[in-house]
Amino acid sequence: MNRFSLFLALTGLVFMTACSGDKGSNGPGPDPDQGATNRKALLTYTVDDIILPGYAAFKVKLDTLTARTNAFAAKPDADKLATLRQGWADAYVEWQKVELFDVGPANTQTLRYYFNIYPANATGIEDNLKADNPNLDLPNSYPRQGFPALDYLLNGVGANDAAILGKYTKDENAAQRIAYLKKVVSKMNLMLGLVISEWGNSRDKFVNCTGLDAGCSTSQLVNGYVLHYERYIRSGKIGIPSGAMTNGVAAPEKVEGFYKKDLSKLLAQTAQQAFVDFFNGKSRRTGSEGLSLKSYLNGLNAKDSKTGELLTTAILNQLDAAAKKLQPLKASLYDEINTNKAAVVDVYTEMQKVVRMLKVDMTTAMSITITYTDNDGD
């Protein structure tokens, strides 16, 4: 397991603290029953209009991926491989819209680690598929499964489509490779099912835990949200591959979607937009904006200390600045890092400004303590 994958897989485990009680302490900050700062209403809307519908939409894509995996496994051919690849790409893009829900059951089940620890460990995948019964719950198996593993299995095991298809039809390990492909997708279905089922059992407890202490839902939601941007969007998708966080030493091989390189920018853009939509409270049911971090901060009349404008305006403007730096890049961030690294580093620079606003200004205004740790000096 490479160092970056181990870092991503292990450092987030600090979020596994469960909500400490049905009510929790109100803690500092506004009365949770007052208007725009009603935390129970915010949590209820977030779960019912954003998180659960988001998982439902993702499940549709994952079900399609599963069906296409089974069809390919039953009779591997070029057409089924192409169809399966498209199902994988569609599900991977949809995953970007729910990965930020690292709270509640997704956090306790460490869902992200089963779906998207990259870069894939190709050597480990080859070892796993030859093993009698590889244990996908071990930390060293995180980069051997999920979307990155499927990327390798569908796009990276041969120099061209004919060679890749041969790995599933003629190779001495063809049967094991097919079995492992199915095992990876089956594990993804199992883990998503556990998370959705647990939400059914824990929803009421989650929305009633209205305190601002570290054990309750608003704090966990905000911590998970900020962590996602800092570590998995800013750092994982941009900062580490571009070298912006590694003293200028680029590592393009660490881009997301490495074997399907022209997907990497779309994954980053989708994750960025999903982050904005969550901030604005965009409903996955209706498409309209509702209760949100934005409405909560506006209810507090939180201001940017430098400009005096609403803090939400400053945050959204900076998120837009990062998106505008990302938009003109090539579809393949791998190619862009190799030929135009400075432009990718510029994206990181704008994202870093967002992190400071979220991690310091937003949490201070909300009286929430950051409970995770990092070592990059933010």
Q: What is the mean pLDDT of residues 327-355?
A: 98
Q: How far apart are CA 21 and CA 13, in angstroms?
A: 20
pLDDT at 76: 98
pLDDT at 376: 56
pLDDT at 345: 98
pLDDT at 34: 57
Quick check: 377 pLDDT over 50?
no
Query: Which one, of 209, 208, 212, 236, lies nearest residue 223 by Cα?
Result: 212
Q: Tell me which amino acid residue 366 is.
A: M
Instruction: Report the share of the chain in percent with pLDDT over 90.
Output: 88
Q: What is the mean pLDDT of residues 212-223?
A: 95
pTM of the model: 0.92
Quick check: 20 pLDDT over 50?
no
Quick check: 358 pLDDT over 50?
yes
pLDDT band at 373 (very low <50, low <70, confident <90, very high): confident
Q: Which helix (H) or strand (E) holds 245?
A: none
pLDDT at 255: 98
Q: 206: buried, middle or exposed (CB in 10 Å: 19+, 13-18, 0-12)?
A: buried
Q: Give the CA distances from residue 359 to residues 141, 222, 354, 370, in Å, rounded to whole numbers and listed in that order.
A: 31, 9, 8, 7
Quick check: 269 pLDDT over 50?
yes
Q: Give the CA distances from residue 280 to residues 6, 50, 233, 304, in Å, rounded to whole numbers and listed in that order.
A: 32, 11, 18, 17
Quick check: 30 pLDDT over 60?
no
Tell me which DSSP letter residue 17 carries: P
pLDDT at 141: 98
pLDDT at 11: 39
pLDDT at 306: 87
Give tens-digit pLDDT for 61-105.
999 999 999 999 999 999 999 999 999 999 999 999 999 999 999
Q: What is the mean pLDDT of residues 248-274?
A: 98
Tell me which DSSP letter residue 19 carries: P
pLDDT at 206: 97
CATH no. of 3-365: 1.20.1420.20
282 forms beta bridges with 289
Reduced DSSP (H G I as helix, E B as strand, rest coil) percent helix, strand, coil of the chain, to 5: 65, 0, 30
Query: Which one, of 102, 109, 111, lies nearest residue 51 by Cα?
Result: 102
Average pLDDT over the chain, rounded to whole? 91
Instruction: Report the share of the chain in percent with pLDDT over 70.
Output: 90
pLDDT band at 174 (very low <50, low <70, confident <90, very high): very high
pLDDT at 263: 98
Quick check: 31 pLDDT over 80?
no
Q: What is the mean pLDDT of residues 364-370?
A: 96
Q: How far apart are CA 185 and CA 183, in angstroms?
A: 6
pLDDT at 97: 98
DSSP labels, 102-139: -STHHHHTTHHHHH--SS--HHHHHHHHHSSS--TTSG
Would you kindly state where each structural domain of the chain is located, as residue ranges?
3-365
Give tens-digit pLDDT for 274-331.
999 999 999 999 999 999 999 999 999 999 988 999 999 999 999 999 999 999 999 9
